[in-house]
Chain A
Amino acid sequence: MRAEERVIDNIGKMLILSLSACELLRKAVLEKNKILLEEISRIERDGDDLRRSTARQIYRGAFLPYLRTNILRLVEDVDDILNTTDKAGKYFRKIEDLGFLENSIEIERILDLNVMLCKILSKNFIEFFKVPEKLSEAMIVVRMLEKEADNLKHSILENLKKKDLEFWDGIFTFNFIEALEEISDVVEDTMDTLQVVVLSL
């Protein structure tokens, strides 16, 4: 396999990992099963390994120098999806009072959105390099979903304000929700970088 193909392949693998991580996070939160979060951390470490080996490939000469900066940024963006998912998981683990989850359709929806975003990205990743039109289409969808996630976050925080929470639980819940929304944000960033890469040739 050529060095470039290996890099693309690795990024694809990282995206599949991020999809698994988001699915696990969804399951862990909805089932209030904190043991599943361990698995997310493990996936995040796998992602780190992949990121390192991909960066090494790029350093050794995959891609024209002109593209390398952006390809590396793409790798880091994808890694950021994993990191943010792990971060959300870690905050969730610290929350003791999970009362805010009671019939919260909105949190479930954000979790669904994140899974959907990762799925869009990982499923079409290779195709995006080949068909730029598909990328533009996906960008519209991703932007729409990200906006929805952002709206949901504000609505959730609005509801959260009304709740009487213990100080640390409040902080962790707040951070958890922020991180949850950040995942969709990072996916959007990844798409932007991907477009820069594809358009740069």
Chain B
Amino acid sequence: MNRRLEVVDPELTVLEVIEKIVNKRIRSVIVRLKERDYGVITVRDIVYKCLVKGIDPEDLKAYEIASKPLVTVEKGTTVEEILAIMEKSKIGNVFVREGDKIVGSITLMDIMTGYLIGRLL
């Protein structure tokens, strides 16, 4: 599980979100839309919902392109269950919650890495 989460303000422009993703070298950011209501922005969202459409990323706010709802799993969910969820929702990134707090994320890439490391250790 990846515990590095970047939660951003929904009023941020898409350009600022891009800057965050690049500077922090992460793959996605969480957007806090309302209290306990989160969305996620991945590179995919930025490209499809903004750049391809020819919209200036400075004119678009983060909440406008955030994907909802956040797919979350309870901490302690098995890898198999997570994979099933990913397959069903056709996503590659789920978030892990502990109670009603989001504590981390798991991507398909993480699962692959974990699997490969497991073979070596």
Contacts and interface: CB of A to CB of B under 8 A. Distances in A.
Direct contact of A and B (CB under 8 A): yes
Interface of A: 105-106, 109, 116, 119-120, 123-124, 134, 137-138, 140-141, 144-145, 150-152, 154-155, 158
B3 A109 contact: yes
Nearest to A120: B120
Interface stretch (B19-27, B32-40, B64-72, B87-95): B19-27
Given A106-B4, A137-B116, A155 B121 contact: no
Contact of A154 (B23, B113, B121): B23
Given A119-B121, A141-B116, A105 B23 contact: no
Contacts of A120: 117, 120-121
Q: Is the interface of B mostly helix, strand, loop or mixed?
A: helix
Q: Chain B: interface residue count, which band?
A: 10 to 19
A154 B20 CA distance: 12
Contact of A141 (B23, B24, B26, B120): B120
A158 B23 contact: yes
A151 to B, nearest CB: 4
18 contacts: A105-B3, A109-B3, A116-B117, A116-B121, A119-B121, A120-B121, A123-B120, A137-B116, A137-B120, A141-B113, A144-B116, A145-B113, A145-B117, A151-B25, A152-B4, A154-B23, A154-B25, A155-B4
Given A105-B3, A141-B116, A155-B4, A123 B26 contact: no
B121 A123 contact: yes
Interface of B: 3-4, 23-26, 113, 116-117, 119-121
A109 B3 CA distance: 9
Contacts of B119: 137
Interface-central residue, B3, B25, B113, by most chain A CB under 10 Å: B25
Nearest to A154: B25
Nearest to A144: B113
B117 A155 contact: no
A150 B116 CA distance: 20
Contacts of A138: 120
A116 B3 CA distance: 17
A153 to B, nearest CB: 9
A150 B26 CA distance: 12
A144 B113 CA distance: 8
Contacts of A124: 120
A160 B23 CA distance: 12
Contact of A158 (B3, B24, B113, B116): B24
Contacts of A140: 116
A118 B80 CA distance: 28
A114 B9 CA distance: 33
Contacts of A151: 24-26
A171 to B, nearest CB: 22
A81 to B, nearest CB: 17
Contacts of A154: 23-25
A121 B4 CA distance: 26
